[in-house]
Amino acid sequence: MANTGDFSNTYTLTSSDNLFEFLKARGLPDDMAADYASAKPTMILSKKGDQFSMRRVFVDDPNKSHDVRFELNKPFEEIRPNGPTIKSIVVAGDGKQLIQTQTGDRDVVRIVYDFNGKDLLSNATIIGTGISTKGVFTRVE
């Protein structure tokens, strides 16, 4: 079970791999995918009671900011940056890990968040396609 006290924090994206291609495959237009792929958002993770919050803040354009609130093992809806509403569920993985599954009309995406003490490692895969992206978010001191 994930230990939420170990990763409730603020992180900044320091590197990403294949994000533009991943976003295009998810249906974002080229200009929107390029804009998101070049950004370095801050991710704020917190927990109050059973409620988690995962907020991505884009300093250059607050309109791109995205806030997801959820409880472990409970399905919820979220709105993707390009508008569609998708179904999601987040479960605790082994150790310090959260695993999110997003199901939309065109794809299913699995995102694994690994917390290693200082960094938050994100690995997202579009199931059945082999298309994935990796990101490293470094904890803000």
User: Residue 139: what residue type?
Assistant: R
> Tell me: the pLDDT tens digits for 47-100?
999 999 999 888 777 777 888 999 999 999 998 777 789 999 999 988 789 999
> Tell me: the pLDDT tens digits for 113-129?
999 888 999 999 999 99
Of 36, 78, 80, 79, residue with least CA distance to 58: 36
DSSP 13: E
Between CA 111 and CA 7, with CA 99 as vertex, the angle to 5 degrees is 105
pTM for the full predicted model: 0.89
Domain ranges of the chain: 4-139
> Tell me: the pLDDT tens digits for 8-37?
899 999 999 999 999 999 988 999 899 889
d(CA 70, CA 88): 9
Name 55's bridge partners.
44, 67
The answer regarding whether domain 4-139 maps to CATH 3.30.1490.20 reads no
